[in-house]
């Protein structure tokens, strides 16, 4: 499946998730491009938007660990700007 752009991808995904419309789904977005997509999906489904922050940390021995921190983002149903 090809997408014209990220907004097109978000709208197609929202269409496939239409069964969740009206059930107040929680849509999680990861910074660096996915938060605007998550907002589009949340708006289309009438859900809530939250942001997940991920950071890589180096551990002894060269192992890479990930720490995930969830930050609450207020969602008013309108795009900022």
Q: Which CATH architecture has domain 6-71?
A: 3-Layer(aba) Sandwich (3.40)
Provide block-wise average pLDDT over 10 residues at a time, the chain (81 residues).
89 95 92 89 94 74 62 48 37
CB 50 within 8 A of CB 26: yes
Q: What is the pLDDT of residue 38?
A: 95
* Cβ contacts of 25 within 8 Å, gap of 6 or more: 17, 42, 45, 47, 48
Q: Where are the domains of the chain?
A: 6-71
Q: What is the pLDDT of residue 27?
A: 94
């Amino acid at each position: 499946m090809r997408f014209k752009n990220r907004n097109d991808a978000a709208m197609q995904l929202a269409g496939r998730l239409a069964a969740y419309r009206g059930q107040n789904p929680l849509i999680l977005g990861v910074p660096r491009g996915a938060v605007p997509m998550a907002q589009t999906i949340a708006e289309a489904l009438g859900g809530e938007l939250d942001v997940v922050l991920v950071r890589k940390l180096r551990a002894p021995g060269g192992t890479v660990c990930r720490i995930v921190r969830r930050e609450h983002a207020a969602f008013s149903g309108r795009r900022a700007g």
